[in-house]
Chains A and B, each alone.
Chain A
């Protein structure tokens, strides 16, 4: 069975759990604050369960266009590695921002991504420089942003 078919009901389950969690948290509040969560949450939870059942039924059926009007297209099951790769880059960029700060992470990211996937040194350098310049002039010069301290700055005296 394709992974994507398993993933689908899992995601619906996730949504249902989030709704349930919200209802539980909200039940401790005063009624003024909680009523909208309780009402919509109850409606949502029942719909999520219905959707979950539909997804599970679809698991066993061979035909993706099963008689469930609750389905919708847009599946691209084959690109799993491509997805993992880009998520890796995203998370690394985010980590870089935390570790060495926005100003350094931006050119680093742009440079490495462009180079790794086939750009020439010139293009990569140019793009890195432009993006760094943009971030610097906008945030530092114009907006005087109080930059959060990067984690690794402790190592730099």
Chain B
């Protein structure tokens, strides 16, 4: 195995591969920046070029490079303009944007990049360490275990509701209802689609996120006619942000662990890792009154986890050739075209390729963070620009993001609907985060409960995995009470 590791490293450190990786990082960062235009679209664009390449390692360097770093740069938009750059950076908005408003944008940015770096390194490390147990690990999770994990997600709703639990739960329920729109595979019923084929596939998460989080803040800026930062100073925040990560290193590592853990569950991963980490931070840290108002830990936790989750999504890929998400699915297509055979071989005859992937994940993250750090200060200055330059650009940005998912004008209509909803929710103190969580987790919970029941009757309740997970979930919910902290003073997000 050691030889394979060295071989993998050598293949990645060639000039061609590094150049490809750099290209991939730049593309991935740009793409991560832009809401709606996510990994899948970019990878789709890259596919034709990639499929004609002969040597697999540069292909790995390019594609994995693109995939690995989307979540680092997306912090820019989340922090600066409250627009989620990618599904993985939604939770970052909750504390990142308030920090930008206070003039602490540079601190938030450097903290997020540093946390991303740690996450991006811890992820591949854990991946590496678990290579021997990869297969049993993946096999341990069946429908019942998935169901309990979604329950954990739902427990987060309480945490994220701040001091308005009733409204928070209601928001969560609305979120679940939004997710049910579309064809229900297990029954063949088209739910809430009112005969429109457009709605058969459901409502896309990015549109909900853009509408609920992106537009209302922009509306605020426009109606207040103010720039983002209410104070006109950047401060020495940049260095402070880096220090913050070191001072909270244990939280950062824990969040990375959560990220990789959540990332490896197929289908569950991408949009929840940051929420889980955020909620975990709220539950487990002391002095949480400032979460939601600009606590740097609220930036560190999600950013660490959304980088490590990328490594996590490769676990099922390496174990069984099963893609962990849409991006990995596309990457697998490219791999097949250049002769890499995703599947059990990846842990045996193709081990050097596996290591090349792991090395690329780590190195690409380092490059991405370096790039982002370099640009952090200049870009952060946009917080001081007058609103009439920022507002139209943000709105165009958001509309592009909404349009880019399916190139359908209905998406824009939906965007307006959700913007109105988000606006009203903000105005009347309804927590918005639980709604997003409901959208992401609602139908999965329903599906896994259904599958568990149909397949196992009631026996699934006694499976060892289920029992262990259930205890863990209960522990994480009750932990804050045990520590003597309530959620009384937290701001509604």
Contact = CB atoms under 8 A, between A and B. Distances in A.
B392 interface: yes
B177 A40 contact: yes
Contact of B170 (A4, A51, A73, A116): A51
A51 B171 CA distance: 12
Contacts of A119: 386, 388-389
Interface in B30-69: 37, 41, 45
B427 A94 contact: no
A94 B225 CA distance: 21
Interface residues of B, number: 62
Interface residues of A, number: 70
B45 A142 contact: yes
A47 to B, nearest CB: 5
A25 B427 CA distance: 29
Given A79-B223, A146-B407, A70 B164 contact: yes
Interface string B364-405: 000000000000000000000011110111011001100110
Main secondary structure of the interface of B (DSSP, over half): helix
B416 A86 contact: no
Interface in B199-240: 215, 218-219, 222-225
B127 to A, nearest CB: 32
A87 B166 contact: no
Contacts of A116: 388
Contacts of A33: 184, 186-187, 189, 191
A123 to B, nearest CB: 6
Interface in A46-93: 47-48, 50-51, 69-76, 79, 81-83, 85-87, 89-91, 93
Contact of B395 (A26, A69, A82, A109): A109
B224 A79 contact: yes
B426 A109 contact: no
Nearest to B442: A36
B470 interface: no
B388 A113 contact: yes
A50 B187 contact: no
A32 B224 contact: no
A32 B450 contact: yes
B174 interface: yes
A80 B49 CA distance: 52
Interface in B348-371: none
A73 B429 CA distance: 6
Contacts of A94: 412-413, 416
A25 B177 CA distance: 12
A47 B399 contact: no
Interface in A18-49: 18-19, 22, 25-26, 29-30, 32-33, 36-37, 40-41, 43-44, 47-48
A contact face: mostly helix, strand, loop, or mixed: helix
Contacts of A15: 170, 174
A71 B225 CA distance: 28
A117 B186 contact: no
B388 A97 contact: no
A135 interface: yes
A4 B177 contact: no
A82 to B, nearest CB: 3
Contacts of B177: 18-19, 22, 37, 40-41
B396 A131 contact: yes
B492 interface: yes
A153 to B, nearest CB: 14
Contacts of B426: 74
Chain A CB within 10 Å, residue with most, of B388, B403, B430:
B388
B143 interface: no
Interface string B420-459: 0001101111110000000000100010001000000000
A12 B399 CA distance: 28
Contact of A109 (B41, B396, B431): B396
Contacts of A156: none
A154 interface: no
B162 interface: yes
A143 interface: yes
Contacts of A50: 166
B246 interface: no
A148 interface: yes
Contacts of B386: 118-119
Interface in A130-147: 131, 134-135, 138-139, 142-143, 145-147
B389 A74 contact: no
Contacts of A134: 400
A51 B166 CA distance: 7
Contacts of B413: 94
A11 B45 contact: no
Contacts of A145: 407
B437 to A, nearest CB: 14
10 contacts: A7-B427, A30-B187, A33-B186, A70-B167, A72-B167, A94-B412, A109-B396, A110-B396, A113-B391, A113-B392
* 7 interchain residue pairs of minimum CB distance: A82-B223, A72-B429, A117-B388, A72-B492, A86-B222, A33-B189, A32-B187
